[in-house]
């Protein structure tokens, strides 16, 4: 993940309500393991093909990942096994880009399809554009990016 990106996890809503507990929302050194949530309520990776209307499907570095968008900018990633069963879903927002329409479409897609969005703190975020945008704008990444930008600007 680049400093100019904020990452969100996506989970099936039903799995969150049945599996959610402090132990399931713990991060490990490797990150957040969301595979258990997807195994409880399985979906095929083709379920996410509608994202292609917002972010074009592109070639990923891994054959196991369906990548929509640009990995260095705004993107939506679906990790699946050899049978096409979803193991993990996330999306990244490039807050230096004009991401508003992309974010709005992803939130709408998740809301209409019974998917929960988690922020980097693993908090469930509402399907509300303004609140999600506020999460991004107040993130440590934005703060760090702005500090670096100001530092570069002042050294000129």
How far apart (Å, rounded) are the C-alpha atoms in residues 74 and 54? Answer: 10
How far apart (Å, rounded) are the C-alpha atoms in residues 118 and 9? Answer: 5
pLDDT at 22: 44
Helix axis angle, 129-137 relative to 100-112, nearest 10°?
130
pLDDT at 92: 96
How far apart (Å, rounded) are the C-alpha atoms in residues 55 and 40? Answer: 27
Please give the tally of structural domains in the chain.
1
pLDDT at 152: 57
Coil, helix or strand at residue 13 = helix
- The CATH number of whichever domain residue 101 belongs to comes to 3.30.310
One pLDDT digit (tens) per residue for the chain, 156 residues: 677 899 999 999 888 765 555 445 554 445 678 888 898 888 999 999 999 999 999 999 999 999 999 999 999 999 999 999 999 999 999 998 999 999 999 999 999 999 999 999 888 999 899 999 999 999 988 888 888 877 655 555
Coil, helix or strand at residue 130 = helix
The whole domain housing 24 covers 5-154
pLDDT at 1: 61
Retrieve residue 134's tokens: 């506020």
Coil, helix or strand at residue 33 = coil
pLDDT at 141: 87
Largest CA distance in the chain: 55
Strand order in the sheet with 86-94: 57-58, 65-69, 75-80, 86-94, 5-12, 115-118, 124-125
pLDDT at 23: 45
Retrieve residue 26's tokens: 């713990």
List CB contacts of 49: < 8 A, sequence separation 6 or more: 57
């Amino acid at each position: 993940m680049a400093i100019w990106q904020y990452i969100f996890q996506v989970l099936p809503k039903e799995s969150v309500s049945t599996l959610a507990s402090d132990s399931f929302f713990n991060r490990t050194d490797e990150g957040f393991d969301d595979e258990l949530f997807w195994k409880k309520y399985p979906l095929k990776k083709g379920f996410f093909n509608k994202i292609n209307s917002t972010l074009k499907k592109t070639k990923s570095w891994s054959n196991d990942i369906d990548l929509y968008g640009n990995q260095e900018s705004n993107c939506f990633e679906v990790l699946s096994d050899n049978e096409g069963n979803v193991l993990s879903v996330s999306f990244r927002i490039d807050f230096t880009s004009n991401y508003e329409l992309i974010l709005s479409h992803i939130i709408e897609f998740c809301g209409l399809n019974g998917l929960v969005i988690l922020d980097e703190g693993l908090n469930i975020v509402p399907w509300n554009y303004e609140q999600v945008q506020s999460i991004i704008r107040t993130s440590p990444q934005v703060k760090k990016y702005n500090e670096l930008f100001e530092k570069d600007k002042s050294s000129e």
